[in-house]
């Protein structure tokens, strides 16, 4: 019997894509819409993710669940630190953010 796989990605792939999307949105907010901050933040979050995988290979007794949540924990901490200064956040936010786009203006 011949079976074919559905083109629909499986649940684990969807979860990884969703998690990466959350990190990307947080990265834009963390960077305050500045390109060089985006690059630095991407390297930071990537390094934390790689560190989590690397530490698991050494078997130091740190639970894998903690290491898996580490990138998200760093993301939350970074967003809390960035959002602490309201004036800085408002100064770096694009003026047209949240306004509907009308093409013929």
pLDDT tens digits, 47-73 = 888 888 888 888 788 888 888 888 888
Could you write out the three-class secondary structure of 51-67? HHHHHHHHCCCCCHHHH
Residue 32: φ, ψ to 5°? 50, 40
pLDDT tens digits, 11-47: 767 777 777 788 888 888 777 777 888 888 889 888 8
| Gyration radius from the chain CA atoms | 19
- Indicate the pTM of the whole model: 0.62
Give CA–CA dist 46/73, Å, rounded: 13
Give the list of residues 6+ apart from residue 44 with CB closer than 8 angstroms, or none: 74, 78
- What is the spatial distance between Cα 47 and Cα 26, in angstroms, rounded to a whole number? 16
């Amino acid at each position: 019997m011949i079976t074919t796989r559905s083109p629909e990605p499986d649940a684990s792939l969807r979860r990884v894509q969703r998690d990466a999307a959350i990190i990307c949105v947080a990265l834009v907010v963390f960077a305050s819409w500045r390109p060089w901050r985006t690059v630095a933040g991407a390297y930071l979050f990537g390094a934390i993710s790689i560190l989590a995988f690397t530490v698991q290979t050494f078997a130091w007794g740190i639970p894998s669940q903690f290491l898996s949540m580490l990138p998200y924990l760093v993301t939350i901490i970074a967003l809390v630190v960035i959002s602490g200064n309201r004036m800085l956040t408002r100064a770096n936010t694009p003026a047209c953010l949240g306004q509907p786009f009308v093409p013929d203006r």
